[in-house]
Amino acid sequence: MPKISERGCQMPASPIRKLVPFAEAAKKKGIKVYHLNIGQPDIQTPEVALNAIRNFDQKVIEYSHSAGNESYRRKLATYYQGIGINITHEEIIITTGGSEAISFALKVCLNPGDEIIIPEPFYTNYNAFALAAGVKVIPITSSIENGFALPPISEFEKSITPRTKAIMVCNPNNPTGYLYSKEELLQLRELVLKHDLYLFADEVYREFCYDGNAHFSVMNLEGLEEHAVLMDSVSKRYSECGVRIGALISKNKKLIATALKFAQARLSPPSLGQVIGEASLDTPAEYFREVYDEYISRRNLVIEELNKIPGVFAPLPKGAFYSVISLPIDDADIFCQWLLEDFSYNQQTVMLAPATGFYATPGLGKNEARIAYVLKKEDLKNAVKCLEEALKVYPGRK
């Protein structure tokens, strides 16, 4: 029998999706599963986007330009200019989701064997994209005690080697919900300039910043025109996860020209997705106000209720719609599977994402899980109640 590649064997399973078969089995037994494991909002997609699909009248769905439709890129540049990010359409490549933007950036900026530093816990697929590109992730561990703030710059400095080519942040952060401040980003700016590195920023949750905290983009860090690389997506901003449209953005002309070669190799980003993405830029401000208020309300409810459970600690997220919480358990992977296989409360249970998959350092996250507060408040209440009851009877409780 022919062998599977080493790369294929090393590719990590998604901690967000690997428990799906157990959730499906629970549902077949008549158990209602509350999905707090995945960032799939239940917020309605903007009407302008839905109308773009309903009114689509082209007779042939053609390839687009490899960089994306110029009309979309121009309109997207206007959006960024409106939030203080001064770019042109020529500095944007439309990608198949934010995922492809990250994958392109790694392949354009790093060679196989090079290293990228990322604060952990981090979005698990960064590891997968890096592995596929032959890049080594060097984690710098942040702590739940201070809400997963940026680790000390000295920790980054100690991890830099001749192989280090980039630092990456997700801001606001998935999975922790932490929002990096301008001051923290300025510290990274100095480090990036000192060692001549790239600074990658995944800013797909930009619109979701709470409690009066403002988002600051890496694109606005002075002197990083050749270093800053922005990844973005329509998935969360407009509740369009299935549209699969993202963007890779940089003022570094050579970087964009090189990324275009990768874009040409995959021909073009989704044509219908671009139609939806372009229409979504006309989403009225009222939509975002309502969505913002809803997420604030959900966040406050779920964090307050979680912290009432003995042994549970849930830091208050400053952005996005996630929180990594600590639980009084022996092993998050075992616990999350047990919730689906062996537990139910009033024919209900809850699905969480074990945090081990968001760490690159072995052994970390074993008593932590990521929750996504993307369900209506009644469902969130029921989900937290299930968790509370589960912890009372879980055999591996600590």
Tens digits of residue pLDDT in 156-199: 999 999 999 999 999 999 999 999 999 999 999 999 999 999 99
Output DSSP code: residue 372: E
User: Mapping DSSP to helix (H, G, I), strand (E, B) and coil, where does residue 397 land?
Assistant: strand
Phi then psi for residue 23, to 5 deg, are -65, -40
User: Mapping DSSP to helix (H, G, I), strand (E, B) and coil, where does residue 165 land?
Assistant: strand
Rounded Cα distance between 36 and 390, Å, is 15
Cβ neighbour number for residue 21 with a 10 Å cutoff: 10
Would you say the pTM of this structure is higher than 0.85? yes
In 13-58 the beta strands, taken as DSSP E runs, fall at: 32-35
384 Ramachandran zone, left/alpha/beta (phi>0; psi -120 to 50): alpha
Length of the chain: 398
Rounded Cα distance between 265 and 223, Å, is 32
Q: What is the pLDDT of residue 15?
A: 72
Output DSSP code: residue 328: S
Q: What is the pLDDT of residue 17?
A: 80
Contacts of 87 (CB under 8 A, 6+ apart): 77, 80, 81, 219, 249, 251
Helices (H), 200-248: none
Domain 47-280 in this protein, CATH class: alpha beta
Give every strand in the sheet of 368-372, ordered side by side.
Answer: 322-326, 368-372, 353-354
User: Mapping DSSP to helix (H, G, I), strand (E, B) and coil, where does residue 366 land?
Assistant: coil
Half-sphere exposure of 42 (CA within 13 A, CB side): 15
Q: What is the pLDDT of residue 18?
A: 83
User: 152 with 185: CB under 8 angstroms?
Assistant: no
Burial category of 59 from C-beta neighbours within 10 Å (exposed 0-12, middle 13-18, buried 19 and up): exposed
Contacts of 82 (CB under 8 A, 6+ apart): none
Q: Hunting for tokens 């590195």 — which residue is that? A: 197
Rounded Cα distance between 246 and 244, Å, is 7
Residue type, 327: L
User: Mapping DSSP to helix (H, G, I), strand (E, B) and coil, where does residue 203 land?
Assistant: coil
Rounded Cα distance between 127 and 118, Å, is 10
Contacts of 352 (CB under 8 A, 6+ apart): 36, 37, 332, 336, 339, 369, 370, 371, 387
Per-residue pLDDT of the chain (398 residues; tens, 9 = 90+): 999 999 899 988 787 788 999 999 999 999 999 999 999 999 999 999 999 999 999 999 999 999 999 999 999 999 999 999 999 999 999 999 999 999 999 999 999 999 999 999 999 999 999 999 999 999 999 999 999 999 999 999 999 999 999 999 999 999 999 999 999 999 999 999 999 999 999 999 999 999 999 999 999 999 999 999 999 999 999 999 999 999 999 999 999 999 999 999 999 999 999 999 999 999 999 999 999 999 999 999 999 999 999 999 999 999 999 999 999 999 999 999 999 999 999 999 999 999 999 999 999 999 999 999 999 999 999 999 999 999 999 999 99
CATH topology of domain 6-44+286-393: Aspartate Aminotransferase, domain 1 (3.90.1150)
The domains of the chain are located at 6-44+286-393, 47-280
Residue type, 279: A
DSSP letters for 115-163: EEEEEES--THHHHHHHHHTPEEEEEE--GGGTSPPPPHHHHHHH--TT
* Beta strands 198-202; 322-326: pairing state: unpaired
Q: What is the pLDDT of residue 128?
A: 94
Residue type, 98: G
